A = this chain, B = another copy of it.
Amino acid sequence: MTNALRITVWNENVHEREDSEVAALYPSGIHGAIAEGLRDLLPEATVSTATLEEPEHGLTEDRLAETDVLFWWGHGAHDAVDEAIVERVAERVLAGMGLVVLHSGHFSRIFIRLMGTTCSLSWRDDGDRELLWTVAPGHPIAEGVPDPLVVPAHETYGEFFDVPAPEELIFVSNFSGGEVFRSGLTYRRGRGRIFYFSPGDQKYPIYQQPDIRRVLANAAEWARPEGERAIPTVTNRPRGWFEG
């Protein structure tokens, strides 16, 4: 009845090319691993990838017009993302396209642009165990996800995470070093839906983990647009235009 979900996974794809350890973990790139998980769990979806080095970062008008949900992974090359492309993506989100921002994407231009805050946080790369606890059971993004979801070793992200208070808080993480982090957050902006999910760092095999893949697949389905896609615009209508 509903059309097939069209997903684009965007990745800066820098660590994988410059760091052999990351390349070993993610031989087809972080985007490749994410796409693989989505294809596996959402067999009816169309999943493609795009990276920084492509023309227009692979995010042409045509590509975005055919994307229902965009995943975003970036870290070291946020500043290399063209402002015009950021604005293009922002307008698409406000018009209804879903956006899933991952891990160090908290500092991406697109996320800061849409949140309006610094999006800063505390961090420490120390191999902590991370436990993601579900605080919104019954939410579609938590469906089928173990509670807690255990990440054996990971970079630590801690509060204060300077984002607007989320509309829905789905996951909260405990790190073995003592930190907590709001690790699964939803927002609506314009007609679009945004999900921020804090795993996973490039040095750890996060996106191979089945439970993490389940969250990403759930998020893709949750973030898909409802109805028409159109950016909200100012209108000036005559009195009683809605009558008759």
Query: Hey, which bits of chain A sit against chain B, CB under 8 A?
Result: 90, 94, 96, 113-118, 120-124, 126, 129, 131, 133-140, 142-144, 147-148, 150, 158-162, 164-165, 167-169, 172-180, 182, 187-193, 225-227, 231-240, 242-243
Tell me the complex Cα distance, A139–B188, Å.
9
B239 x A177 contact (CB < 8 A):
yes
How many subunits of this chain does the assembly comprise? 4
Chain B residues with CB below 8 A from A138, complex form: 96, 188, 190-193, 225-227
Which of A178, A190, A234, A236 has the largest number of chain B CB atoms within 10 A?
A178
Closest Cβ–Cβ distance, residue A133 to chain B (whole Å): 5
Residue in chain B with minimal CB distance to A107: B234
B123 x A242 contact (CB < 8 A):
no
A240-B178 contact, Cβ under 8 Å, with A94-B162, A138-B227, A188-B138:
yes
Residue in chain B with minimal CB distance to A125: B236
Chain B residues with CB below 8 A from A140, complex form: 226
Q: Say which residue of B188, B226, B243 sits within 8 Å of A150 (CB atoms).
A: B243
Tell me the complex Cα distance, A227–B147, Å.
13
Closest Cβ–Cβ distance, residue A238 to chain B (whole Å): 7
Chain B residues with CB below 8 A from A237, complex form: 122, 124
A172-B182 contact, Cβ under 8 Å, with A138-B190, A138-B192:
yes
Which of A94, A232, A234 has the largest number of chain B CB atoms within 10 A?
A232
A233 x B120 contact (CB < 8 A):
yes
Chain B residues with CB below 8 A from A235, complex form: 120, 122-123
A179 x B122 contact (CB < 8 A):
no
Tell me the complex Cα distance, A161–B120, Å.
27
A116 x B118 contact (CB < 8 A):
no
A148 x B178 contact (CB < 8 A):
yes
